[in-house]
Amino acid sequence: MIEVKNLEKSFGDAHILKGITTSFDKGKTNLIIGQSGSGKTVFLKCLLGLYEYDAGSISYEGRVISSLSPDDKGDLRSEIGMVFQGSALFDSMTIAENVMFPLRMFTKQSKSEMEDRVNTVLNRVNLADAHKKMPSEASGGMQKRVAIARAIVNNPKYLFCDEPNSGLDPRTSIVIDNLLQEITEEYQITTVINSHDMNSVMEIGQKIVFLKDGLKEWEGSKDNIFITDNKAVTDFVYSSNLFKKVRKMYLEENQ
């Protein structure tokens, strides 16, 4: 579990995060949503330790980031996997080499041990025959699955994903959503996903934190987001006519 208490972050006169308190649960897909400028990207970077926060606390299983020694911070980073928005694969490396990269950086495994682990995670994301391909030879959906394989190759306790469905077609987005949820539950990872994709919210939002103007405006699940009377949430989530109809049908069926 990741716990956040009264988190504050400013850049000069710009007050970005305003006393956010929440938690992200182990074995669940936790989504951070909100409009552009709501603070969700800054929030994610604070969670990752990329930004120092001004006040409050962030703790991983009781380990408060701001109180950790450099060595302890290094240990924590080794427990974190990251899926970047653009996948961030190395163009000059094969898919297998991309996935192996964290093992080379953070472990002392033998080459055969690393190869076995790469085989395992590529099989898990249904890319068993893609080892020798270059990223340029892979579709957007395949590249995203490679990024997920690389993120989990070190058996992380925590997985962060920044807009994992960015640039993908709706069908492929569903495949990625389902894969992330399956991996999260299978390995009991604390997964935090920064997303603007409302399909993801409805499909895998086991916990949802909605930010508005740097404040935690609402939190709940994909089930109770249908019945919330919070206007800011409904205006954001049900901004399209399609989702308005979906919500109306849900409410009529569950009266």
Tens digits of residue pLDDT in 214-246: 999 999 998 888 788 888 888 887 776 666 676
Q: All domains of the chain, ordered by start, with CATH? A: 2-222 (3.40.50.300)
Cβ atoms 99, 121 nearer than 8 A: yes
pLDDT computed for residue 243 by the predictor: 65
**185-206: per-residue pLDDT in tens?**
999 999 999 988 888 888 898 9
**45-85: per-residue pLDDT in tens?**
999 988 999 999 999 998 999 888 989 888 888 899 999 88
SS3 52: coil
Cβ atoms 99, 152 nearer than 8 A: no
pLDDT for 9 beyond 80: yes
| Overall average pLDDT of the 132-155 stretch | 91
**pTM (2 d.p.):** 0.89
Place of tokens 């399209």: 240
Instruction: Mention every residue, 6+ apart, whose C-beta is less than 8 A from residue 112.
Output: none
pLDDT for 184 beyond 90: yes
pLDDT computed for residue 29 by the predictor: 95
pLDDT computed for residue 81 by the predictor: 92
Report the b/e string of 126-155 with b at 16+ CB within 10 A.
ebeebbeeebeebebbbbbbbbbbbbbbbe
Q: DSSP characters for 88-125?
A: ---TTS-HHHHHHHHHHHH----HHHHHHHHHHHHHHT
Q: DSSP characters for 132-195?
A: T--GGGS-HHHHHHHHHHHHHTT--SEEEEESTTTT--HHHHHHHHHHHHHHHHHHT-EEEEE-
Report the b/e string of 19-57 with b at 16+ CB within 10 A.
ebebebeeebbbbbbbbeebbbbbbbbbbbbebebeebe
Query: Apex CA 43: angle with CA 37 and CA 48, to 5°?
Result: 140
Cβ atoms 53, 214 nearer than 8 A: no
| Overall average pLDDT of the 32-55 stretch | 91
**107-140: per-residue pLDDT in tens?**
888 999 999 999 999 998 988 888 899 999 988 8
